[in-house]
A and B are shown apart, each in its own frame.
Chain A
Amino acid sequence: MKRHLLEAGDLDRADATLVLDTAGQIESALAGREVKKLPTLRGRTVVNLFYEDSTRTRISFELAAKRLSADVINFSAKGSSVSKGESLKDTALTLEAMGADGIVVRHGASGAPHRLATWVKGSVVNAGDGTHEHPTQALLDAYTIRQRLGRLDGVRVVVVGDVLHSRVARSNVWLLSTLGAEVTLVAPPTLLPVGVGSWPVAVSYDLDAVLPKADVVMMLRVQAERMNASFFPSAREYSRRYGLDARRMAVLPDHAIVMHPGPMNRGMEIAAEVADSARSTIVDQVGNGVSVRMAVLYLLLGGAPE
């Protein structure tokens, strides 16, 4: 493993598989235990440096670090020196001076974790940067797919929705293709980045055409403000063309699963009956997130061989 986890592209097949396997081992080690805690990172300090609100991701990382017995500091940019104009660099150096071994950073600017990694000696984990990447989300998605379907090689994954602004989609594209899955992106052309043609994916504008062969359908959250910026004409039209409802779910092969990184817009990109169906892995994804983040922190901070 490298010293940081900044983007999914940092992981080759062996590294990615090591993270997933380690998550599995951690899960097994904790299964049935009354006290769900390992002593692995005792004496280490992990800082959750969150410039954007994200309660779910922060809690997931916090729980992961605590279950590895690390000391955890939650640093929210709101109401801190950051709101008084302190720069990312000064904040990073301050945290490091306080002895942070690992910094988990969520930031609204793409590449902020990369900058941070040039200024600190500790490990940096990207917990979501702008519209760039969210690598631990992709790892937990891959873990969930493997858990449900037993493999990743050759699995056909359809990612649906606002790819243009989605760090989840970006991370999944790179990680899933590294792990041998076949990814198809489905979205209106306005929500696909110029340059998507160079990605290791297929692209379709027609959800109905790709569903019958999908093993995994990964729905992305659609932000309300995209509508006002004319990325598509109306919520109703979007939902009709790109939403996953019961009728569309019925077209899927029997073994296929439905994923969503959350939080969902029920009734917009995903119908309630789909989100709550047996095919849905949404709750599993949340639980697996903790195991995967434990694996990442363990491998980066636990003294694993380079």
Chain B
Amino acid sequence: MTLITNVRPYGEDAVDIRITDGRITEIGPGLAGDDDVVDGGGLVALPGLVDLHTHLREPGREDAETVETGSRAAALGGFTAVHAMANTDPVADTAGVVEQVWRLGQEAGLVDVVPVGAVTVGLRGERLAELGAMADSAARVRVFSDDGHCVADPALMRRALEYVKALDGVVAQHAEEPRLTVGAQMNEGDRSARLGLAGWPAAAEEAVIARDVLLAGHVGARLHVCHVSTAGSVDILRWAKSRGVQVTAEVTPHHLLLTDECAETYDPVFKVNPPLRSDADVQALRAGLADGTIDAVATDHAPHAVEDKESEWASARPGMLGLEQALSIVVQTMVEPGLLDWRGVADRMSVRPAAIGRLAGHGRPLAVGEPANLLLLDPTHRATVDPAALASRSRNSPYAGRELPGRVVATFLRGTATVLDGKAQK
């Protein structure tokens, strides 16, 4: 048994929380007992975070990240479950690969690693992967995505949406019309024109989202839109939801904070897909997340080896680290400006992502009888990000040298501390 004393669930009044056999068994002031006592010190308690969009790179690029190192980074970021994207090598498009990733996550034992299955064989966008076999596997896949690639063929996208209905699954689309982004390097606009970097137009994302919400509405299936990055996308999602389409969407921490101004340095640490957008887009994304049009924050944690980033902009791989700073970015961009309260953070970073991924044991309220997946946060702590100190095997953090608020002091996965005093326990 564990007793966490003097914590503030959702930032509210301080209580003690008793955990027995992985569940919350008692909540209230002044609990006593001879349990292992963790002094909560007035910290904010939130349900363990759930990431819908993590790249763990194993199998294939274990030099950039492994399931274990990525799990450690996730736990340190306050996560108790992460969805591992399918664009590994080999691609996670069979029951065998998703079970391998799932088992590696179990062995690491720091977070629940939930594999995402590819929609199409080899992410090639030509024919459906064996979605049912992945859903029926030990990994129990419910989220399917060709992330990194768009399922661009509208007929194939329709079939995928229809097919996953039988699996209670969801298609998570990387919305990018590929013919509009040939050679694209950054957000298309004033800066791309001046910097001589080929532009990635907002319309390439918005056109696919518009198409897909119409398809999802037509066939009555669940659609999830990955890493929404433009104001226009938020408008389309708002319209689709008002029409009753079963669409959900996520935004990344970096799209909530950073703009295409970062590209001025030509430092590829700021190269990401979809690209960093304008300040107006950032404001629209924050508003969309605040009003619930955007359901979730998802990290798109994309570790890359040094040689894949320390190069010319054009030849660098797109992607940024995200797991360890995600909550800090949300505190800075949403909580401190008053756009979300702590219950709102729990909703967008735990409750809704767990619901989208159909994860039964996560995204539950901090209440008696619920699984003890939770984190303790010191929102007043401020620290400067040092990439060398990150748990990820890679160092491509866009926040290097930036002072951020919020420190995850402890994370509990089914009652077991995976992080204590800000340090991973494995």
Contact = CB atoms under 8 A, between A and B. Distances in A.
A130 interface: yes
A192 to B, nearest CB: 9
B311 A110 contact: no
B190 A130 contact: no
Q: Which of B196, B197, B201, B310 has the largest count of A CB atoms less than 10 A from its CB?
A: B196
A26 interface: no
B195 interface: yes
Contacts of A115: 266-267, 311-313
A82 to B, nearest CB: 12
B38 interface: no
Contact of A194 (B192, B267, B312): B192
B193 interface: yes
B242 interface: no
B300 to A, nearest CB: 23
Interface in B259-315: 265-267, 307, 310-315
Contact of A195 (B185, B188, B265): B188
Interface in A189-203: 193-199
A204 B9 CA distance: 62
A280 interface: no
B194 A114 contact: no
B196 A196 contact: no
A114 B266 CA distance: 7
A193 B312 contact: no
B196 A129 contact: yes
A133 B192 contact: no
Interface in A64-107: 87-89, 107
B310 A87 contact: yes
Contact of B314 (A110, A114, A195): A110
B189 interface: yes
A129 to B, nearest CB: 7
B322 interface: no
Interface in B183-212: 185, 188-199, 201
Contacts, number: 76
A17 interface: no
A111 B311 contact: no
Contacts of A170: 194, 196
A111 B191 contact: no
A89 B268 CA distance: 13
A101 to B, nearest CB: 23
A87 to B, nearest CB: 6
B192 A195 contact: yes
Given A87-B310, A115-B311, A115-B312, A110 B196 contact: yes
A131 interface: yes
Contacts of A224: none
B266 A193 contact: no
Contact of A111 (B188, B201, B310, B312): B312
Interface string B199-236: 10100000000000000000000000000000000000
Contact of B201 (A87, A114, A194): A194
A167 interface: yes
Contacts of B191: 195
B199 A194 contact: yes
A246 interface: no
Nearest to A107: B312
B190 A198 contact: yes
Contacts of B192: 193-195
Given A114-B265, A114-B266, A131-B198, A193 B310 contact: no
Nearest to A113: B266
Nearest to A9: B194
B313 A109 contact: yes
A112 interface: yes
A197 B194 CA distance: 11
A137 to B, nearest CB: 14
A293 B266 CA distance: 25
A132 interface: yes
B193 A199 contact: yes
Interface in A141-176: 167, 170
10 contacts: A88-B311, A108-B314, A111-B312, A131-B196, A167-B196, A170-B196, A194-B201, A195-B188, A195-B194, A195-B199
Nearest 9 A/B pairs, CB to CB: A132-B196, A111-B266, A193-B193, A195-B193, A109-B312, A110-B196, A195-B190, A109-B314, A131-B196
Interface of A: 87-89, 107-112, 114-115, 118, 129-133, 167, 170, 193-199
Interface of B: 185, 188-199, 201, 265-267, 307, 310-315
